[in-house]
């Protein structure tokens, strides 16, 4: 790797790779953590036989978090040692802290270069983010098909635009405190959490830049508080399912420190947040009285921002034409298979409104037409 050098060690009997790497740290040098991402590269008979030249057979049907390793007693074969390959790496992912009662682990340790003292948390993360976005930009220009739905995400969030945000210092990367969410962390420095940066930072390299003291990086977890760093065992956590469990600004966990991307609020860095409230209805007399009361309650409660009715209809009704009720009209949702389930209209109407009007408010509040505003929301400030 460009920033690190990998060295290989054999742990003592029953020892973990984490302990072996720490013990091998040169005197006065930076701590040398276990490189968990290298276990898959070491999990081959040819590699293990080089590491343990006195070994006899290579056994490939065992599995466990302490493998690959060397063992003297496996399977009752006590004469001569044998090297063991982890046959189920996907199910039993090798861990830095795993210990085998009768085995000697083969470990990869990462010798970190000392970071310049003037380099801040933001500088380190920004450097990695820029490098990764440059690679994504070049790959997309070549027409490379990336994994899953990543192409769709990068089509909506163009790498060149994000790179410009970093270069022009429109974003600041920071580490939240233990148990703190990114919304509060960003607000604490007068900025607003920007959720799209979680997708950019959801990888081991970005987390390593932010938390260089980490010993390992795990891709086995998922949740709305990830990516993050878990100090208790020096582990960086990548969100394994970012599409299903997408990270949120409000996500938090008592044992993690989140990696946050913060930017200026749309109203300006020193202004109050701006709001826009929307609700969806169909054109019918049933909804007419709810619409009028919604407007009345919104005004009486002094809710900040604007209120817009999202009307699912083929043409504007008299409330929209007269200007009595601010309205955005979109055709009802129609499924090609003939599925006319009415509740589909709500997400469809919101989607059309977002794409056609491109609202600029900081916060969009989606409510139901039969809700009532009693007083101003305490968070609307």
CA distances from 26 to 22, 31, 52, 376 (A): 9, 8, 23, 61
Sign of the alpha-carbon dihedral angle for 324, 326, 330, 332? negative
* Residue closest to 105 by CA, chosen among 73, 67, 135, 131: 67
> Cα–Cα distance between 357 and 216 in angstroms, integer?
45
pLDDT tens for the 381 residues of the chain, in order: 334 688 899 988 888 888 888 888 776 566 678 888 899 899 999 999 999 998 888 999 998 889 999 987 765 544 558 899 999 988 888 888 888 777 889 999 887 655 443 458 898 999 999 988 888 887 777 766 554 445 556 556 778 888 888 887 888 999 999 999 999 999 888 888 999 899 999 999 999 999 998 899 999 999 999 999 999 889 999 999 988 888 999 999 999 999 999 987 554 443 446 788 999 998 888 888 899 999 999 988 888 888 999 999 988 888 888 888 999 999 988 876 767 778 889 999 999 999 998 887 778 999 999 888 887 655 444
Omega before residue 282 within 30° of 0, cis: no
Q: Are 262 and 185 in contact (CB under 8 A)?
A: yes
Contact 180, 250 (CB under 8 A): no
Q: What is the pLDDT of residues 32-64, one digit of tens each?
A: 788 888 998 999 999 999 999 988 889 999 988
Calpha distance 27→262 (Å, rounded): 38
Query: Six-digit token pair at 318?
Result: 């008299």
Q: For strand 69-71 and strand 192-193, is the pairing parallel, antiparallel, or unpaired?
A: unpaired
Contact in structure between 307 and 326 (CB atoms under 8 Å): yes
């Amino acid at each position: 790797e460009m920033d690190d050098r990998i060295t290989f060690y054999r742990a003592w009997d029953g020892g973990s790779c984490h302990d072996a790497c720490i013990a091998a740290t040169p005197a006065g040098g930076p701590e040398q953590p276990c490189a968990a991402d290298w276990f898959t590269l070491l999990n081959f008979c040819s590699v293990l036989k080089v590491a343990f030249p006195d070994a006899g057979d290579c056994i490939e049907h065992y599995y466990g978090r302490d493998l690959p390793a060397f063992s003297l007693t496996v399977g009752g074969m006590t004469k001569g040692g044998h090297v063991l390959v982890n046959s189920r790496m996907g199910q039993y992912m090798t861990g830095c802290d795993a210990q085998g009662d009768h085995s000697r682990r083969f470990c990869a340790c990462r010798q970190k270069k000392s970071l310049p003292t003037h380099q801040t948390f933001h500088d380190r993360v920004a450097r990695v983010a820029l490098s990764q976005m440059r690679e994504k930009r070049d790959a997309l220009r070549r027409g490379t098909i990336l994994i899953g739905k990543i192409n769709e995400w990068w089509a909506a969030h163009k790498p060149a635009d994000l790179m410009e945000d970093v270069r022009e210092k429109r974003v600041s990367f920071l580490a939240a405190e233990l148990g703190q969410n990114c919304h509060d962390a960003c607000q604490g420095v007068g900025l607003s959490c920007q959720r799209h940066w979680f997708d950019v930072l959801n990888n081991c390299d970005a987390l390593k830049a932010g938390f260089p003291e980490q010993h390992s990086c795990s891709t086995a977890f998922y949740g709305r508080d990830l990516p993050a760093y878990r100090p208790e065992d020096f582990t960086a956590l990548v969100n394994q399912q970012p599409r299903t469990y997408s990270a949120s600004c409000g996500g938090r966990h008592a044992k993690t420190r989140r990696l946050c991307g913060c930017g200026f609020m749309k109203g300006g860095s020193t202004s109050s947040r701006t709001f826009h409230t929307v609700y969806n209805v169909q054109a019918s007399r049933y909804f007419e009285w709810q619409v009028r009361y919604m407007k009345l309650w919104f005004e009486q409660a002094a809710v900040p921002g604007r209120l817009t009715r999202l009307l699912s209809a083929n043409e504007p009704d008299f409330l929209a034409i007269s200007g009595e009720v601010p309205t955005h009209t979109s055709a009802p949702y129609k499924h090609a298979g003939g599925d006319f389930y009415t509740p589909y209209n709500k997400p469809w109407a919101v989607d059309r409104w977002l794409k056609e009007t491109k609202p600029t408010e900081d916060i969009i509040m989606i409510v139901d037409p039969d809700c009532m505003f009693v007083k101003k929301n305490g968070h609307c400030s």
